[in-house]
Amino acid sequence: MALQTDGTPRAVSSSRWTPPHTHSTLDSTPLPPPFTQPSLPQPRELPPGRLPNGLEPPERTPRPDRPRARDRPKPRRRPRPREGGEGGGSRRSRSAPAQGGSTPAPPPPPTHTVQHEGFLLRKRELDANRKSSNRSWVSLYCVLSKGELGFYKDAKGPASGGTHGGEPLLSLHKATSEVASDYKKKKHVFKLQTQDGSEFLLQAKDEEEMNGWLEAVASSVGEHAEIARWGQTLPTTSSTDEGNPKREVVERRASGRRK
């Protein structure tokens, strides 16, 4: 019980004391808004056919029609030789040198192949650019073989080897033959001139036979010329070192070292 100043008791209210209400600073501070993720800018929609920089895309050239791989023709392959079959031996690679030397063998030299024979009437006009002493017509068996023309008494003469009067065989190298158009006494006559200046008149039985002889003589003369050309193209071989490229290279290297 509380006492007054004069000592008398004072009545106290039965209500309980409560401290005055004070406003808290925490209650007055507003709370921050909840965190939300910022929205990203949306890409701008471009009109069709435009690039982001505003330029127009380049025009595409039409691609030519090409056949598909399965429609293309496949290359043909060479069949591989069988081991032990035809061709013999194992397969040789392309880079490997051929057996028997690196250089191919030279072709065989040309030879005389023309052969012609038969009876002809012969008149000897010139002997080595001189008028012949015996200019009578005589029937002889003529044989053209190996680029030479031989005159025989009959068809058995070539087997025995004895020519008419022991005459040597005539070489047709650089010989000429033509129809003797200036000779009017006989028909089907052609003229033969050799390199040494001899000249003969030869008569055939008809024009067909004469043309056959002219063709055979011309072919034999051509073979002579071909053989002569082939002989000129052969490489010359000598025991000296002249023209040897390997020796020239060795000598040049030796002289360079001495310097």
Cα(124)–Cα(175) distance, rounded to whole angstroms?
Answer: 16
Overall average pLDDT of the 138-142 stretch: 95
| pLDDT value at 3 more than 80 | no
- What's the confidence (pLDDT) of residue 120? 96
Cα(125)–Cα(166) distance, rounded to whole angstroms?
Answer: 18
Cα(122)–Cα(167) distance, rounded to whole angstroms?
Answer: 14
pLDDT band at 108 (very low <50, low <70, confident <90, very high): confident
Q: Could you tell me how far CA 12 lies from the centroid of its own chain? A: 137
| Pair 227, 108: CB distance under 8 Å | no
| Distant-in-sequence, close-in-space partners of 221: CB < 8 Å, separation ≥ 6 | 172, 173, 174, 175, 176, 177
- What's the confidence (pLDDT) of residue 253? 56
pLDDT band at 239 (very low <50, low <70, confident <90, very high): very low
| Distant-in-sequence, close-in-space partners of 12: CB < 8 Å, separation ≥ 6 | 1, 2
Looking at domain 115-129+137-233, does it have CATH number 2.30.29.30?
yes
Please tell me whether the overall predicted TM-score, pTM, comes out greater than 0.75 for this model.
no
Continuous segment of H or E residues that includes residue 151: strand 148-152
- What's the confidence (pLDDT) of residue 47? 64
Structural domain spans, the chain: 115-129+137-233
Q: pLDDT, tens digit, for every residue of 188-228?
A: 999 999 999 999 999 999 999 999 999 999 999 999 999 98
- The percentage of the chain sitting over the pLDDT mark of 70, rounded to a whole number, equals 54
- What's the confidence (pLDDT) of residue 133? 86
| Pair 175, 193: CB distance under 8 Å | yes
pLDDT band at 102 (very low <50, low <70, confident <90, very high): low
